[in-house]
Amino acid sequence: MSDLWNNLAIGFAAAATLQNIGYAFIGCFAGTLIGVLPGVGAVAAVAILLPVTFYLEPLSGLIMLAGIFYGAQYGGSTAAILVNLPGDTSSVVSCIEGHKMALQGRAGAALATAGLGSFFAGCFSTCVIALFAPPLALLAQSFGGPEYFSLMVFGLTGAIVLSRGSVINALAMISLGLLLGFVGIDDTTGGARFTLGFTSLLDGISFVPMAIGLFGIAGIIDNLSRPAHDRSVITDKIETLWPTREDFKKAWAPVLRGTGLGSILGVLPGGGAALSSFASYVVEKKVTRDPSSFGHGAIQGLAGPESANNAGAQTSFIPMLTLGIPGNAMMAILIGALTIHGIQPGPQIMTETPTLFWGLIASMWIGNLMLIIINLPLIGVWVQLLKVPYRYLYLAILVFSALGVYSLNSNVFDVFLMMMFALLGYIFIRLECDFVPMVLAFVLGPLMETNLRKSLLISSGDPMIFLQRPISLGLLVCTLALLAVIIAPSLRAKREVVFDEA
């Protein structure tokens, strides 16, 4: 236990410098600014703002990213509550009750509940990470090739659970992601693969153009290709921000339950913000004494999911930081960011760069605090921003994304790469192929190949090695169980229902 406090002290000492708090502030502000834009989700916001953080030293860059991350997520909730337009799946649930509350003139209370619930969840899950990351990293240090390979298979299977559309499509998208991951020079043999003659592809497909193209630009194209929404922004009724005493009485239990649920679900592969908020909404609806109020602005249905999505978003850092395995799209983007800063996520990160690791954890808490400090008082600014028509905003995002991508390496090729991925992403959206599994597989592909090689080298080419090592066997059994659950008709129906609402 004293270790924990020591570690956190190291982290806070590193993160809580005036300069870093400044970056957290800028990050949080910029993140909310982009995240609040209708139709732009947290993942897209982080992807778009990613290039800016590369100009800072690693820890400051990460702290700013954490700020962007929380800001974008809260911005998404704000847009969901006030305009009924969720940026991405994790704020879909906030639309249901939050927007109803806003329609009843309680937008202020809804926004404050979301903010305070998220803050509580953030504080709690920061402790969860500090508590559970070290033992998990210790365990992971005993992992060899076979264990890692099986773990990645498990992780990718988890990604299928939460992907939209058919299981076949999800599997195919994973294969596609693996293929994209092969592009460039093969680390082990030194041979160039799938470069199609482009020298710029020798280092592999750069992650940032891919992420912005898919999550940012493709979404813009999709938005513009549909008939314009009728957006009614609720603007005139935010007078009192503070929830009433009765609100507090109703909300505290859902906040606790949501935090607990989110903390657990966030760690699972495929888990994170979206899964947690859906699960929490379902739970709250089940346990409430007054189910009829749900769908009509029940504060429980907002407080629970909002806490859960923050807790889940945060604990999904655990597998990412300790194992190097991204559980969701956001973590894939953060792995990309870490790699560009020269940090390879994995069990060694904690022992090799403890300041960075604990600094990042401390910065999560700082990011959360920043959220409360800047977002609630500034709510008027965000409301004004929501009134800016989309047709001005998308042009700004477009130009900023292109220049941001160009600025990474001063290479025009990256801009064209982003363009290709924007087109590809739009095609995928139209064909109902979720590209999140593809991105996860892209990040994991090279690691998977390396570990497959290692494993088969040890076993002289015998694939049975994956079944002979107990941890690896256990993970593969879990994978099979997960697959069985996905294919089981009952859950399939539920998945469809959930995504139909989304």
Query: In 3D, which of 103, 121, 50, 42 has the Cα closest to residue 75?
Result: 42
Q: How many residues does the chain have?
A: 502
Q: Which is nearer to other proteins, 1 or 431 (CB)?
A: 431
- Cβ atoms of 39 and 219 within 8 Å: the answer is yes
| DSSP letter assigned to residue 212 | I
Nearest approach, Cβ of 125 to other proteins (angstroms)? 33
Nearest approach, Cβ of 178 to other proteins (angstroms)? 5
**Please, which residues bridge with residue 184 across strands?**
193
Q: Which is nearer to other proteins, 97 or 434 (CB)?
A: 434
Q: Which is nearer to other proteins, 357 or 390 (CB)?
A: 390
Q: Which is nearer to other proteins, 378 or 427 (CB)?
A: 427
Element (H, E) at 110: helix 107-141
Q: Which is nearer to other proteins, 74 or 426 (CB)?
A: 426
Q: Which is nearer to other proteins, 348 or 407 (CB)?
A: 407
Query: In 3D, which of 48, 28, 29 has the Cα closest to residue 40?
Result: 48
Nearest approach, Cβ of 408 to other proteins (angstroms)? 10
Nearest approach, Cβ of 95 to other proteins (angstroms)? 23
Q: Which is nearer to other proteins, 461 or 489 (CB)?
A: 461
**CA 56/CA 160 separation, integer angstroms:** 35
Nearest approach, Cβ of 221 to other proteins (angstroms)? 5
Nearest approach, Cβ of 40 to other proteins (angstroms)? 14
Query: In 3D, which of 159, 162, 136, 146 has the Cα closest to residue 479?
Result: 159
CA angle 135, 332, 168 (to 5 degrees): 110
Q: Which is nearer to other proteins, 81 or 205 (CB)?
A: 205
- Cβ atoms of 438 and 177 within 8 Å: the answer is yes
- The string of DSSP letters for 399-453 reads HHHHHHHHHHHT-HHHHHHHHHHHHHHHHHHHTT--SHHHHHHHHHHHHHHHHHH
Give the 3-state DSSP-derived string for 35-67, with helices as H, strands as E and coil as C. HCCCCCCHHHHHHHHHHHHCCCCHHHHHHHHHH
Q: Is the dihedral of CA 141, 146, 149, 155 positive or negative?
A: negative
Nearest approach, Cβ of 108 to other proteins (angstroms)? 30
Nearest approach, Cβ of 258 to other proteins (angstroms)? 35
**CA 300/CA 284 separation, integer angstroms:** 7
Nearest approach, Cβ of 111 to other proteins (angstroms)? 27
Q: Which residues bind other proteins (CB under 8 A)?
A: 52, 55, 166, 168-169, 171-172, 175-176, 178-179, 182, 186, 188-189, 191, 193-194, 217, 220-226, 390-392, 394-396, 398-400, 402-403, 406-407, 410, 412, 415-416, 418-419, 422-423, 426-427, 430-433, 448-449, 452-453, 456-457, 459-463
Q: Which is nearer to other proteins, 248 or 449 (CB)?
A: 449
**CA 72/CA 43 separation, integer angstroms:** 8
**CA 5/CA 9 separation, integer angstroms:** 6
Nearest approach, Cβ of 437 to other proteins (angstroms)? 12
